[in-house]
C-alpha cells in the first residue's frame, strides 16, 4: 500500500532510506536544514558528498521547510545524528498527528540523560507511536540495493508491522521485535566496540585481536542490556552480533575508521576531522560508561575506550591492561564453579 512518508535528515542514511521507500512506491518527502543539500538533491538527483553515483528517484522531494515535509505524513523517519534526536523530535512534535508513527534509524545513547532514542522520542512526542529500525545496514549498500536485513522494534505490534510492511522489498527484509531497549542498546553499544576494533587495526594487531574484541564486546553489551531489562536473545540477533560484525569489519564503518586513526596516533579531534562524518561511537562511549557504573556492570572494553577517548590513555597500554585483568571464567554468569569436576 502506498504511504506518505517523511524523512527527517538528508545525510547518507536519510537519502538511502528515501531511495528505498520511493522504489517501494511510497510518496517521499525529505527534509534538510541545509539549502545547499536541498538544491543538490532536487536538481542533481544525487547526494554527491554522501552517496556519489546513486540516483535519487524523481518522486523524492527535498525541502528545508519542516512543516511542508511533514504535511499528510503517515510515517516519519528520523535519520539524524543521535545527539540531535531530542532537538529534531521537539521541532517536529507539533506537526505529528495523534498516534502518528515515528521511527528512528539512528543508533546512540544521549549524553547527559543516558537515554536511548525511543525514550527521548516518547518525551518529546508523547502523542506519537515510536519505534526503532536497526541492524547491519550501511547506507552505502542500502542505496545500491545490496540485500540487507534489519529489525523494526516497537512495544506495539501494529506499529512494528506497519513499518515492516512499508520497508520490505526484495532487497530489504525486515523482522519485528518487541524488545526495544535491547535493539537500541545493541545498535548503540556496538559502535563503541567498533571504535576499539579500529584502534586494534591502527595499532597493527591482527584477526585474533579483533575476534576477541568482538566476542567479549557482545558479552559486555548483553550484560548491560539484560541489567536494563533487555532480552539476552536479542544480542545474538541482527541488532546485536549482526550489527557488531558489520561495524567492526566494514570499510564503510565510520567508527572503525576513526578508531584506526586513533590507533595510528592521531588525537580524537584529528580522527573526527579526517572522517568528516558523525562517528556515533565517540559520543556513545561516555553514557555507556556511565550506565555501566549506574548498574554496577563490568564492561572492561567500554571502560578502556572511555579512558582512551576522554582520559588520554595510551591505546597500546589499554590493550595491555585488558589482557592482564584478573583471571576469569569465560561463562561466569552462566556456569557456576560447582559445575567443575573435582
Catalytic residues: 190
Residue 61: its H or E element: strand 61-63
> How far is it, in rounded angstroms, from Cα 246 to Cα 119?
26
Helix axes 180-202, 207-227, angle to 10 degrees: 150
Closest CA to 101 of 77, 71, 75, 127: 75
**C-alpha distances out from residue 176 to 82, 87, 129, 151, 234, Å:** 22, 27, 15, 5, 11
Indicate the pairing of strand 27-31 with strand 61-63.
parallel
CB of 133 closer than 8 Å to CB of 103: yes
Closest CA to 266 of 219, 315, 217: 315
> How far is it, in rounded angstroms, from Cα 248 to Cα 214?
8
Assign 342 to helix, strand or coil.
coil
Alpha helices by DSSP H, the chain: 12-23, 35-44, 66-70, 85-93, 117-124, 139-142, 157-167, 180-202, 207-227, 243-249, 254-263, 268-275, 280-294, 300-310, 315-323
Residue 133: its H or E element: strand 129-134
Closest CA to 84 of 136, 22, 33: 33
Report the half-sphere exposure of 34 (CA within 13 A, side-chain side): 8
Amino acid at each position: 500500500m502506498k504511504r506518505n512518508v517523511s524523512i527527517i535528515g538528508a545525510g547518507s542514511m536519510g537519502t538511502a532510506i528515501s531511495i528505498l521507500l520511493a522504489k517501494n512506491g511510497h510518496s517521499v518527502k525529505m527534509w534538510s536544514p541545509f539549502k545547499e543539500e536541498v538544491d543538490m538533491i532536487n536538481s542533481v538527483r544525487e547526494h554527491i558528498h554522501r552517496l556519489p553515483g546513486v540516483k535519487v528517484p524523481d518522486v523524492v522531494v527535498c525541502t528545508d521547510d519542516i512543516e511542508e515535509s511533514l504535511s499528510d505524513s503517515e510515517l516519519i523517519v528520523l535519520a539524524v545524528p543521535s545527539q540531535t534526536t531530542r532537538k529534531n523530535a521537539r521541532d517536529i512534535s507539533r506537526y505529528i498527528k495523534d498516534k502518528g508513527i515515528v521511527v528512528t534509524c539512528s543508533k546512540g545513547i544521549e549524553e547527559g540523560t543516558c537515554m536511548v532514542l525511543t525514550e527521548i522520542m516518547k518525551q518529546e512526542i508523547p502523542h506519537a507511536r515510536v519505534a526503532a529500525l536497526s541492524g547491519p545496514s550501511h547506507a552505502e549498500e542500502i542505496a545500491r540495493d545490496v540485500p540487507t536485513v534489519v529489525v523494526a522494534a516497537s512495544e506495539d505490534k501494529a506499529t512494528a508491522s506497519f513499518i515492516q510492511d512499508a520497508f520490505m522489498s526484495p532487497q530489504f527484509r525486515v523482522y519485528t521485535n518487541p524488545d526495544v531497549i535491547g535493539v537500541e542498546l545493541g545498535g548503540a553499544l556496538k559502535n563503541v566496540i567498533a571504535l576499539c576494533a579500529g584502534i586494534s587495526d591502527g595499532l597493527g594487531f591482527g584477526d585474533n585481536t579483533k575476534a576477541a574484541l568482538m566476542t567479549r564486546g557482545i558479552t559486555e553489551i548483553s550484560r548491560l542490556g539484560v541489567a536494563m531489562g533487555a532480552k539476552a536473545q536479542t544480542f545474538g540477533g541482527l541488532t546485536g552480533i549482526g550489527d557488531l560484525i558489520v561495524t567492526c569489519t566494514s570499510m564503510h564503518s565510520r567508527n572503525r575508521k576513526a578508531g584506526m586513526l586513533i590507533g595510528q596516533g592521531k588525537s580524537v579531534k584529528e580522527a573526527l576531522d579526517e572522517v568528516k562524518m558523525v562517528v556515533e561511537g565517540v559520543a556513545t562511549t561516555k553514557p555507556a560508561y556511565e550506565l555501566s557504573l549506574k548498574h554496577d556492570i563490568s564492561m572492561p572494553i567500554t571502560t578502556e575506550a572511555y579512558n582512551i577517548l576522554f582520559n588520554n590513555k595510551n591505546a597500546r597500554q589499554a590493550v595491555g591492561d585488558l589482557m592482564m585483568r584478573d583471571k576469569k571464567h569465560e561463562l561466569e554468569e552462566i556456569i557456576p564453579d560447582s559445575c567443575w569436576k573435582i
